[in-house]
Amino acid sequence: MLNRLLRPAALLAAAGAITLLASACGGSSPASSTSSAPAYPALVSSPACTQLRSQNPDLAGKTLTNAINPHTPGYESISVSDPTKYEGFDVDLSEAIGECLGFTVKYLPVAFDALLPTLQSGQANFIISDIYATKERAASADFITYSKVFDGVLVAAGNPKKITGIDDSLCGTTTALNKGFVEVPLVDAQNTKCASEGKPPAQTALFDNNADCVQAILSGRADAYINDVNTVNRFVKDQSGKLANATTLHLPYSIGIGVPKGQLPIRKAFTAALTQIQTSGLQTQLAQKWQLDQSAIQAPSLVTAS
């Protein structure tokens, strides 16, 4: 399941050829993968990826921009060892897709609620940033899914407000959430039940990134924070004795790769590359590397507006 600065870039060319003219709006940030040796040579040399590169010549040799919100450790965040780079599962997945299809990846850090507008404006070519693929979001982008969604509910140690999930236990509490998160309307929807039970409303406090949400709990300004369970568990580990995961919820969504609507060539190419990454076992390896739930992996499917 983070924040950032926008850089201008050219729109995707209608024929599928991609030219990006990106310049930073302040602060250095990781640009593109520059290593001449592929990180995943077995994937690159596989017959499937070799065929995909020949079928998608407009991608080979190009640089594509991935819009990310780099504030979710394990998925995408600034590298601890090298602050000029990003790291995480989604970063590795981006690189693997790029290597399979023959393009290099540049990263554009933006606020979470700016991810889709950045894609729509042509400043990014795709989004791999722990974004939940919902029908509402599919009005702005097509999504290729790759993982089920399990949320955790972060609370202060001991769970003093006895929060049990996205339910009426949130009545009279404040939940810290990132702007644009799907959990915002889910929490707000509890207010009908709160009112019917004569309880105070379930309130939300909106922030720009995960760290601010967590700090709101630590400072007593919020009672809960709901996000991907892997993210929640990392914060519990980092703040040992101060935070806890009250419960884990299975939400009826999937995590997906966002691509521009109507761009069938790139959608098909990304789906095929993702399929090969899963078939080769690489997605499982990356999940292990970043301590994510391997059982959440799911075969690619399309979420798009009807």
> SS3 string of 231-296?
HHHHHHHHCCCCEEEEEEEEEEEEEEEEECCCCHHHHHHHHHHHHHHHHCCHHHHHHHHCCCCHHH
Contacts of 113 (CB under 8 A, 6+ apart): 178, 179, 180
Confidence at residue 304, expressed as pLDDT on a 0 to 100 scale? 95
Residue 242 tokens, joined: 């101060």
Confidence at residue 1, expressed as pLDDT on a 0 to 100 scale? 37
Q: How many other CB atoms are there within 10 angstroms of residue 58's CB atom?
A: 17
Q: How many other CB atoms are there within 10 angstroms of residue 107's CB atom?
A: 25
- CA gap 294, 278 in Å, rounded: 11
- Asked if residue 198 lies in contact with residue 131, where contact means CB atoms within 8 angstroms, the answer is no
Chunked into runs of 10 residues, the chain (306 residues) has average pLDDT values of 32 31 35 67 97 96 97 93 96 98 98 97 98 96 97 98 97 97 96 96 95 97 96 94 97 96 96 98 97 94 90
Place of tokens 């729509």: 120
Q: Which of 235, 191, 189, 185 is nearest to 213 (CA)?
A: 235
Q: Which of 4, 43, 3, 18 is nearest to 260 (CA)?
A: 18
Confidence at residue 30, expressed as pLDDT on a 0 to 100 scale? 56
- CA gap 128, 130 in Å, rounded: 6
